[in-house]
With several copies, the nearest count.
Chain A
Amino acid sequence: MKYALLVQGAPYSQQASHSALRFASALIARGHTLGTVFFYHDGVYNASRLATPPQDEPNLVEAWRRLHQEQGTSLLVCIAAALRRGIIDEREARRHGKEGHAVESPFELTGLGQLIDVHTTHDRLVTFSP
């Protein structure tokens, strides 16, 4: 089956990201596909390339990136939730006259419509929240 995950917890504050990453590995191990991870609410903080966790703790941003590389999983970040939280990419930075950016490929800023569409293109959506 083709899965999508909705992640809504900040990465170093709540367990939601950890649970979602473990669930991702397990579903792949069972032969399913992980098509999309959609980040909403404080989940958008998972996309920050500026996150600098201690060396002896899991690097969650890196773990998401690896999912994309190895499985082709789309990493979609709700743009409305992200902008107010300072999770902006180069294009939004330019548009709002900010120097620097927090999001880069393979994370993509996108609209909520993509979350709605998940149900037509995936078999299961599982939500991980704080």
Chain B
Amino acid sequence: MLVMLRHSPHGSSWLREGLDVALVGAALGRKVHVLFLGDGVQALIAGQTSGPLGQKGTHPTLDMLEMYDIDTLLVDGESLAQRGLTIDDLQLPVSLVDAASLPRVLAEHSPIYSF
């Protein structure tokens, strides 16, 4: 299954709730790939902290993905570039997806969840 993450951390619960779907899928034995797209690429920015009121943020969850055997982290290159980011800015090793490959990533996965 593919979990598309399109929302940024801290601003809303979309990212956290999308990650929960990925973790539960993996816990149930599904092969889970994650695609970061749009504002979702900002989930990967290194150096995030918890929120000022103690909101946990999502960066600790990202570090847990590997423990759940979720090791295919795909990142849309154009979304990164639009935001002035490169893979060196990210907290985890990822696979860049270029413009030509993006539709193929979606075509090759089923089911697809979009958060």
Contacts and interface: CB of A to CB of B under 8 A. Distances in A.
Interface of A: 12-15, 18, 21-22, 40-41, 56-58, 63, 80-81, 111-113, 115-117, 119, 125, 127, 130
B84 interface: no
A22 B53 contact: yes
B17 A116 contact: no
A113 B28 contact: yes
A130 B12 contact: yes
A15 B12 CA distance: 6
B11 A119 contact: no
Given A111-B24, A116-B24, A125 B13 contact: no
Max chain B C-beta neighbours (<10 A), residue from A22, A112, A130? A112
Interface size class of B (residues with CB under 8 A): 20 to 34
Contact of A116 (B11, B12, B21): B21
Given A18-B55, A57-B54, A115 B21 contact: yes
B101 interface: no
A119 B54 contact: no
Residue from A22, A80, A112, A116 having most chain B Cβ neighbours under 10 A:
A116
Interface in B32-73: 51-56
Contacts of A15: 10-12, 51
B25 A116 contact: yes
A94 to B, nearest CB: 25
B20 interface: yes
A113 B10 CA distance: 25
DSSP class of B's interface residues: helix, strand, loop or mixed?
A: loop
A106 B9 CA distance: 32
Contacts of A14: 11-13
A13 B12 contact: yes
A112 B111 contact: no
B114 interface: yes
B111 A119 contact: yes
A57 B55 contact: yes
B83 interface: no
A84 B20 CA distance: 15
B25 to A, nearest CB: 5
A127 B54 contact: no
Nearest to A85: B13
